[in-house]
Structure 1
Amino acid sequence: MRLLRHRDPQDHTDVTLTFAVGARDETLRTVGVAHAVEHLVMSTVRQLPIQVEAEVDLMTTTFAASGSPARVGEFLNRLCAALADPPVDRLAVEAGVLAAEDGWAAHPIAAFLLFVRYGAAGPGLAWLEGAGYDGLTAEHVTSFARKWFVPGNAVLQVSGPLPDGLELKLPQGPAPTREYPRGRLLDGPSAVGYGIPGAAVLLTVPPGDAARVPRLAMSVLENRIEEQCRHVAGHSYVVDSQVVGRDFVIFAEAREGTEEPVAQAVAAALTDLAAHGPSEEELALAVARLEEDLATTDRELASAFGATMHQLMGDPPLAPIDLALAKQVHPTDIAAVLRDALPSAIGYAEQEVVDVWKAHGFRPETHCRVIPELPAGKVYKPSLAARTFFKDARSLVLVQTEQGLALRDEDGVHEIRWQDVAGVMRTDNPTVVLGINGCAIPVDPHLFRGSGAALDELARRTDPGLWFDESAFTRDQDDH
């Protein structure tokens, strides 16, 4: 295991054990498994009389403790032993706790934009519930732990005395390899809407250079949005960002009734900065924040940790930060980064005001991929009763082809090929086919006449391991 030591002397011990695995390493069938592993193993150390905590985000799983060297050593040994042999007998109990926690690996607005970009894979999984915590099995938990929580995928940071007697009996095996989806490339800047009050933009920027120009550009943009939405207009409390690789999502929540001005502020901040760059004062503030961040951290250790995590995640190494170069960055450099990112940008606004983005050159887009026309195949149409009582049903058409399934609805034509099925959810009514591309197609014999044959073909063409029942927790929430 990689060990990084803080140089500052102290009598007690602080440790942070970070694994390069997070929610983006799950599958639709196993959404939530990383969080379940974290809960299960933390249950084995909850009675230790020291401060302990853990967190799962999109990219990492982190365990931390602070206390006497002996107690911290006990924490690490117990934790690693539990990762090697998770206490899955507690899975049903922890599933309820996890459902009550209702935690997100990313803010809902950021999760939605990542779903638009990546579909039901990689970072896009943060938006989806999958089978729910009650749908996870002991095998899901143990196999995930054995694959990802190995010494070669971990970094241990220690401040203070190194505990004696460390065993760290993690699962043994090679460091895992990973291949993340490339993401959806839209034609020009696009905008999508949904029901979450707020506005946001997803930008894909180049890797950081020594001056960290992309990082400064994101800092300038986030600060301008916060200034307008919170401190000038008083519309937002939360203005924040989420970073996944080269994707930055900057978002602002909106107080009820302020969805339109918040969307206007986000869109205007981005397009104005891309066209004209920031003021000298805005850029100076971003550089000063970078300088303060460097001054208040152990630069050598932070650099070593960052380089190690990039290596574990398969990302290219970053050049060391050169503060002198950062201070030479010009407003036109910031504008260039944002201008270059605009063609692949995805804006977000609450559904009723998404047209705000159109005035800034963004094209409205569906949240999942659609194709121009229905492919040829066996056609299933809604029953007469459905067409009589449900107006929306009149335009629905389900088609079964040799390659997969297609559905025409009011948004366009959705297609999921057999090899691109991410999961199949059984509910009380339809069976819902979920594609890696983000599309969802209901197959309901009660709605589409004769579509039981399509269900039979779906079962024949897909891996049984992709099928799951709707979570009871989700049904309970929907019922209430």
Structure 2
Amino acid sequence: MSEYIDGVRVLRHSGTQSHTDVTLTFAVGSRDETLRTVGVAHVLEHLVMHAVRGLPIEMNAEVDLMTTTFVASGSAARVGEFLTGLCRALAEPPVERLAVEVGVLAAEDGQVAHPVVAQLLNVRYGAKGAGLSWLEGPGYDGLTPEHVTAFARTWFVPSNAVLQVTGPVPDGLRLELPSGTVPSRVHPAGRSFDGPTVVGYGIPAAGVLLTLPPDDAVRRSTLTIDVLRKRIEEECRHVGGHSYDIGADLLAGPGGSSDWVVYADAREGSEEAVSRAFVEALTDLAENGPTEAELAYQVARCQERLDADEPELRRAFSNTMGRMFGEPELEPIDRDGLAGLQPADIAAVLKSALPTAIGYAYEDNLESWEQAGFRRETLCPVISEVPAGKTFKPPLTARAFVKDARSMLWVRTDAALVLRDVDGVHEIRWDEIAGVMRTNDGTTVVLGLNGCAIPVDADMFRGAGTLLTELTERVPQDLWFDETKVDA
């Protein structure tokens, strides 16, 4: 029978230890923000942890793409104080401390995801959902007490949380979170491509985003990512000496499908070697599957985890979180099926994922990807031609002396704003504006949900003043924000 405290699901781990370890996880992360509120989950985490900082126990917290997690370890009584104080702070965030915490957050310079993960998710989702992890938005100094409080009351409710406890449960524990039900999460549609694609940018690394089906009874999708990551680690770190940080991240999607990003950093001068090793690992595994030894290693790792912990409790946690994310329930692991897994099974998963794969390479080191059949793509979508509408051009002097200005054209149509630049033709529909940023140098930048950004500057485009007036009239004020000044 399921156990709840004040509406929060409780999972008890076995053990006879005298101290208490707790993990309170909420099914909300950076992907649940908006462009206007980028960073609000991290701000809230800092504010509530400050409220319990005086307790003499070990404690920590973390925000990632999908979750916000609080952990503590100590005597049952102290851990009870931690949870009680934490939940009270979530119900009434201490927003009077917001201005001070902005400086702390700027000094921390934390990220919810590795830059390659953030970049590829932005290519796929633009300025919405997990794609926001690439964007700064208004910065921490642009968030208001109302943003923080509204976010807490929307997402940090009992039905969106699960508490794991090892050791004694604190006597009389209360988890007085904001009342209410968690809103339905809408998964944004991702950008689709006709075949595998690759993008380039200035992060010295390589990576790939793969959309995989829900895990089955042998956890085939997860094992596939483990095999790929291990192969890349072997080639880029242990054989080539090119990388140290090789990792993977997961974004749950609708119906149980998931976007996985595998990445490998590259030391200076090794960017092309890492890209080449990455592509070779990906394409070879998709064609031939892992070696018997590679597969046996991953199967053994999975079996070790099953023998070392409480698999049913782990599955209960995964399914509890999965229900909050709208995912199907995980089956128990089939040990016999796991032992009988074949290299061809892993190859089949990768081969089916390659047509929608998005690769990443450093700057112009895309040749090895293109040779493997990946088509070079722009970071944000472009359309085939400039639509009819009112046009604005840079001043004649700019076109005469600035090469890039010669190709630039700004167009206003009834449906959209359009910019032609050296990368192509970018379009942001009026009804798909994610936000409008006033930069510190006086330029106004329109940001679209599709990931495009269009500057509107009266000095850059003759007659653009009328467009700024129209933007002010058409775009709601709560979508406008100033560029952060914390690092200015």
TM-score (norm 2): 0.96
User: Paired residue for 1:457, among 464, 470, 478?
Assistant: 470
- CA drift at 1:31: 0.3
- Paired amino acid for 2:401: F
- Considering only aligned residues, what root-mean-square deviation do their CA atoms show, in Å? 0.9
- Paired amino acid for 1:456: T
Cα distance in 1, alignment partners of residues 113 and 135 from structure 2: 11
**Segments of 4+ in structure 1 off by > 6 A?**
none
Cα distance in 2, alignment partners of residues 457 and 272 from structure 1: 53
Residue 316 (structure 1) aligns with: 328
Cα distance in 2, alignment partners of residues 120 and 351 from structure 1: 22
Residue 253 (structure 1) aligns with: 265
- CA drift at 1:352: 2.2
Residue 472 (structure 1) aligns with: 485
Residue 155 (structure 2) aligns with: 148
Residue 30 (structure 1) aligns with: 37
Measured against aligned partners, the alpha-carbon deviations of 1:297-322 in whole angstroms (never above 9, x if no partner) come to 22121110000000011112222221
User: Paired residue for 2:81, among 60, 74, 91?
Assistant: 74
User: Paired residue for 1:232, among 231, 236, 239?
Assistant: 239
2:346 maps to 1:334? yes
Pairing 1:73-472 to 2, within 5 Å after superposition:
73-245=80-252, 246-427=258-439, 428-472=441-485
2:11 maps to 1:4? yes
**Mapped contact 2:315–2:330 kept (Cα < 8 A):** no
- Paired amino acid for 1:407: L
Cα distance in 2, alignment partners of residues 221 and 13 from structure 1: 37
Measured against aligned partners, the alpha-carbon deviations of 1:194-252 in whole angstroms (never above 9, x if no partner) come to 00001001100100010111111111111110000000010001111011110111100
**Mapped contact 1:31–1:125 kept (Cα < 8 A):** yes
Cα distance in 1, alignment partners of residues 168 and 273 from structure 2: 53
- Paired amino acid for 1:260: E
Q: Secondary structure at the match of 1:76?
A: helix
- CA drift at 1:70: 0.6
Cα distance in 2, alignment partners of residues 449 and 231 from structure 1: 56
Residue 3 (structure 2) aligns with: none
Cα distance in 2, alignment partners of residues 180 and 330 from structure 1: 33
**Mapped contact 1:355–1:364 kept (Cα < 8 A):** no
Measured against aligned partners, the alpha-carbon deviations of 1:380-415 in whole angstroms (never above 9, x if no partner) come to 000112212321111100001101200001111000
**Mapped contact 1:117–1:124 kept (Cα < 8 A):** yes
- Paired amino acid for 2:474: R
Cα distance in 2, alignment partners of residues 458 and 404 from structure 1: 11
Q: Secondary structure at the match of 1:295?
A: helix
Cα distance in 2, alignment partners of residues 324 and 141 from structure 1: 49
**Mapped contact 2:205–2:274 kept (Cα < 8 A):** yes
Cα distance in 2, alignment partners of residues 362 and 405 from structure 1: 30
Q: Secondary structure at the match of 1:227?
A: helix
- Paired amino acid for 1:384: L
User: Paired residue for 1:60, among 49, 60, 67?
Assistant: 67
Cα distance in 2, alignment partners of residues 239 and 128 from structure 1: 23
Q: Secondary structure at the match of 1:301?
A: helix
Cα distance in 2, alignment partners of residues 297 and 363 from structure 1: 44
**Mapped contact 1:423–1:434 kept (Cα < 8 A):** yes
Cα distance in 1, alignment partners of residues 343 and 34 from structure 2: 42
**Mapped contact 1:193–1:349 kept (Cα < 8 A):** yes
- CA drift at 1:355: 2.1
- CA drift at 1:429: 2.8
Cα distance in 2, alignment partners of residues 309 and 43 from structure 1: 26
Q: Secondary structure at the match of 1:406?
A: strand
Cα distance in 2, alignment partners of residues 152 and 217 from structure 1: 32
- CA drift at 1:182: 2.1
Cα distance in 2, alignment partners of residues 438 and 289 from structure 1: 39
**Mapped contact 2:26–2:156 kept (Cα < 8 A):** yes
